[in-house]
């Protein structure tokens, strides 16, 4: 999420303002100290004008998420 934010040239402070949160919230989310739910994730991505599904696919590939037997990869 940090790289997605930085790629758009947005500071943590600026993003925090867009989210109505403190800068420390953004920092903790980006470092994994604070986990967020799917709704918070969508707010975060909207605030940086990012593509939520593209980032999820990137994360999935990075962590090699195990798929259940018979599950197909989405395109």
Q: Would residue 46 count as lying in a domain?
A: yes
Q: Would residue 40 count as lying in a domain?
A: yes
Read off the pLDDT of residues 2-22 as tens digits, 9 standing for 90 and up: 999 999 999 999 999 999 999
Say what the pLDDT of residue 71 is: 65
Total domains present in the chain = 1
Q: Would residue 12 count as lying in a domain?
A: yes
Say what the pLDDT of residue 52 is: 92
Say what the pLDDT of residue 73 is: 63
Range of the domain at 9: 2-63
Please tell me the total number of residues recorded for the chain in this structure.
75
Say what the pLDDT of residue 22 is: 98
DSSP 74: P
Read off the pLDDT of residues 21-66 as tens digits, 9 standing for 90 and up: 999 999 999 999 999 999 999 999 999 999 999 888 888 887 775 6
Q: What is the CATH number of the domain that holds 59?
A: 1.10.260.40
Q: Would residue 68 count as lying in a domain?
A: no
């Amino acid at each position: 999420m940090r790289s997605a934010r930085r790629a758009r040239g947005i500071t943590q402070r600026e993003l925090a303002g867009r989210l109505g949160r403190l800068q420390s919230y953004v920092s903790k989310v980006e470092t994994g100290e604070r986990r967020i739910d799917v709704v918070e994730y969508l707010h975060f991505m909207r605030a940086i004008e990012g593509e939520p599904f593209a980032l999820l696919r990137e994360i999935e590939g990075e962590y090699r998420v195990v798929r259940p037997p018979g599950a197909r990869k989405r395109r």
